[in-house]
Structure 1
Amino acid sequence: MPLRDLLLGLAVIVIWALNIIVIKLGVDDLPPLLLTTLRFMLVAALLVPFHPVARHQLPFLALLSMTFGSLHFALLFIGLGQAEAGTGALLVQMGTPFATLLAVIFLKERLGPRRLAGLALSFAGIVVLAGGPTLPSPLPLAILLLSALGWAISQLLIKQGPTIPPLALAGWVALFAIPQVALGSWLFESDHLEALRGAGWAGWGAVFYTAVMSSIVAYGVWYGLLRRHPVNRVVPLTLLVPVMAVFLGAWLLDDSLGIHKLAGGGLVIAGIALIVVKFGSGKKKATTRRQRRTNA
């Protein structure tokens, strides 16, 4: 990967790691579901007019808005309001092991020894985190794990569903998610006008950052990298997101950095690395190509 693209990839990782910190600050200034609604409104306004989709794709996008919009994003914002930023970032990474298990159950994908070991390490990391003081109480813990499950279900739906350009998908999912999350905010949150009038730079900054920087700018750059490079060279960079979020949380928000968080987080990340990184695949492909040239 050229240095320019590597730096672009690292810039995306920084944006996504900071996104966790920004959400944490934002939900301290605005109710989480109201903040999520405003985020979706801005994403939809910026993307939907410029990224039309076919009519037959609308039911799929409406379904995805329930799992990706409401289940993943709304619960992520709620959970981060009650957990440390770094711990929340680590828990949400469980979406990858969940997606792996769902693919085995519903798509009949094979689970080899390496991926099985990755699953075991990931869940062992959660057990280690559970022994430390930074793990949130059972309710926010369940909320963050459900958010990770929502992400995992969404990945399977995207894999099986129609091919839709990423920014079109983000915009239309946001549009369909607006009434769902807004209804939740109306039912479970109060004093919306007062909250909007009293919101400061943290609340409105979170709306802008999570919508524009994290969803539009970062994903736009990321999918450009995926088009130019093999997936197994780009995707492993995402393992840096929770690592950076943990240290940014400690630096900017005074989150704790205890042995349970470091050890448990290390196990989670190591497990996910075993699941997503294809070790030695490049050498095998190169050997295969050389053998073909020799045989020819």
Structure 2
Amino acid sequence: MTRRDCLLAALVAAVWGFNFVVIDWGMDGVPPLLFLALRFVLVVFPAIFLVRRPDVPWRTLAAVGTFMSIGQFGFLYVAMDAGMPPGLAALVLQAQVVFTIVIAAGVLREVPTSAQVAGVLLGVTGLVVVGLGRGGQVPAAALLLCLLGALSWGVGNVVSRAARVPGGLSLTVWSATVVPVPLLMLALVVDGPSAVADGLAAFGWQAALSTLYTAGLSSLVGYGIFNSLLARNPSAAVVPWVLLAPVVAMASAWLLLDQVPNGAEAGGGLLLVGGVLVALRSGRRPGGSGERSTEPRPGTVDGPPLVDTAPRRR
């Protein structure tokens, strides 16, 4: 990864880390799936009239929207509604790093380097340390739902990487078109029409500000950048950066929600940061330029896209 890509990845991690506190702050009184559906309505409109559809099949857009948006955030929002604290939710969701690298190795033949494996293992150790120090009071169902969200995110990352769409914003916007209606239907089934109606009535300025942040910064800006990074870098070089998000989430929860981190959380957070630094050492060439080589590497997919990207009629 180039230095510019590294800075962009760090920015995304910061935006996403603060996102967990914003979700927890804004979801009060609104059913989680309804809250998420309204978020993605704002992601789609009006951006869909300003951003050209990416030149990939609709099945690719549907797959990215299903796994990276409906699956990841659907499970996450329900988990947080079921009692998962924002800082710990950010931490558990980072199991997506392991899922992504394992799935990418099997599906895309992107074999991680030894430094990337070591960095991920160090980051996972940090996750375990924090989980052991904090997770005893978390409902088991909430923890399982959050892990399912991480798995769905990992699948979505690999689909996005395989698509190789140059403009990450276009993939973010157009994949979101398949999200609001299924989420609204799920909300009606899971919570019931009366709860959905009550949630719409309770949607005040606090929920509106939260939705603006999650839709504008987290989805449009964050995933626009993230999908662009996945399009031009191996998955194992990009996803370790997201391990920084729990550090930002826990710090934000400490400052804004008075959720003071204990020793395990502080130590685990340091291991997470160390894991990212170790994993990213392999992405720099000797000489310090930080530019990525254009030569295909053994065990990676640096050739033609794995999806049919021939021009299509719109």
Relative to the length of structure 1, the TM-score reads 0.80
Is there any run of 5+ residues in structure 2 with no aligned partner, and where?
294-314
Aligned length: 285
Query: How big is each residue's C-alpha offset from its partner over 1:148-179, in whole Å with a ceiling of 9 and x where there is no partner?
Result: 22121111111212526222211122110112
- What SS is found at the alignment partner of 2:282? coil
- Partner Cα separation in structure 1 for residue 259 and residue 185 of structure 2: 32
Are the counterparts in 2 of residues 29 and 202 from structure 1 also a CA contact under 8 Å?
no
Partner of 1:294: none
Whether 2:271 is the aligned partner of 1:267: answer yes
The 3 A distance-change label for structure 1 pair 142 and 274 is: farther
Q: Secondary structure at the match of 2:45?
A: helix
**Structure 2 counterpart of 1:253, from 236, 240, 257:** 257
- Residue 124 of structure 1 aligns with an amino acid whose one-letter code is T
The worse-fitting range, judged by mean Cα deviation, of 233-242 and 195-204 is: 233-242
2:302 is aligned to none
Tell me the distance in 2 between the aligned counterparts of 1:28 and 1:37.
15
Q: Which residue of structure 2 aligns with residue 193 of structure 1?
A: 197
**Normalised by the size of structure 2, how large is the TM-score?**
0.76
3-state SS of 1:281 partner: coil
Tell me the residue number matched to 2:84. Answer: 83
- Confirm or deny: 8 A CA contact 1:96 1:272 kept in the other structure: no
Letter matched to residue 85 of structure 1? P
From 217, 221, 233, the counterpart of 1:213: 217
The corresponding residue for 2:246 is: 242
Matched residue, 2:42 = 42
- 172-181 or 100-109: which moved more? 100-109
Matched residue, 2:180: 178
The CA deviation at 1:99 is: 0.9
**Which structure: larger Rg?**
1
Structure 1 counterpart of 2:63? 63
Displacement of 1:71? 0.9
Does the CA-based 8 Å contact 1:40-1:178 persist in structure 2?
yes
Give the unaligned 5+ runs of structure 1. 290-296
Match of 2:142 in 1: 140
Distance 1:271 1:5 in 2: 18
Counterpart residue type for residue 152 of structure 1: G
Superposition RMSD in Å: 3.7
1:131 aligns with 2:135: no
What is the rounded CA distance, in whole Å, between the counterparts of 2:5 and 2:117 in structure 1? 32
CA 1:153–1:42 in 2, change beyond 3 Å: closer, same or farther? same
More helix by share: 1
For residue 58 of structure 1, report the CA deviation from its aligned partner.
Answer: 1.1
Q: Name the amino acid aligned to 2:125.
A: A
Equivalent pair of 1:97/1:275 in contact (CA under 8 Å): no
Q: 1:46 to 1:164 in 2, by over 3 A?
A: farther
Structure 1 residue 42, shift from structure 2 partner: 0.9
Give the distance between the partners of 1:164 and 1:278, measured in 2 at CA. Answer: 23
* Conservation of the 8 A alpha-carbon contact between 1:236 and 1:277: no
Q: For residues 111-163 of structure 1, what are the alpha-carbon distances to aligned partners after superposition, in whole Å with 9 as ceiling and x for unaligned?
A: 44323323332333333233223463222112222212212111111121252
Q: Which AA in structure 1 matches 2:152? A: G
Contact 2:52–2:170 (CA under 8 A) maintained in structure 1: yes
Partner of 2:115: 114
Q: Secondary structure at the match of 2:134?
A: coil
In the TM superposition, residue 237 of structure 1 has moved relative to its aligned partner by 6.3
Change in 2 beyond 3 A, CA 1:66/1:233: closer
| Equivalent AA in structure 2 for residue 48 of structure 1 | I
Task: Tell me if the contact between 1:97 and 1:122 (Cα under 8 Å) persists in the aligned partners.
Answer: no
The alpha carbon displacement at 1:79 in A equals 2.2
User: In the aligned structure 1, how far is the partner of 2:238 from the partner of 2:164?
Assistant: 23
Contact 2:9 2:241 survives alignment (8 Å): yes
Q: Alignment partner for residue 168 of structure 2, among 160, 166, 170?
A: 166
Kept in 2, the 8 Å contact 1:97–1:272? The answer is no
- Which AA in structure 2 matches 1:260? A
Amino acid at match of 1:129: V
Identity %: 27
Query: How far apart, in 1, do the equivalents of 2:92 and 2:270 lie?
Result: 12
Residue identity opposite 1:179 in structure 2: V
The residue number in structure 1 matching 2:151 is 149
Partner of residue 94, structure 1: 95
Range with greater deviation from structure 2 (37-46 or 276-285): 276-285
The Cα of 1:199 is off from its aligned counterpart by 2.4
CA offset at residue 284 of structure 1? 6.6
CA deviations over 1:185-209 (Å, ceiling 9, x no partner): 1111131111111223222222111
- Per-residue CA deviation, residues 18-38 of structure 1 (Å, 9 max, x unaligned), is 211111112223111101100
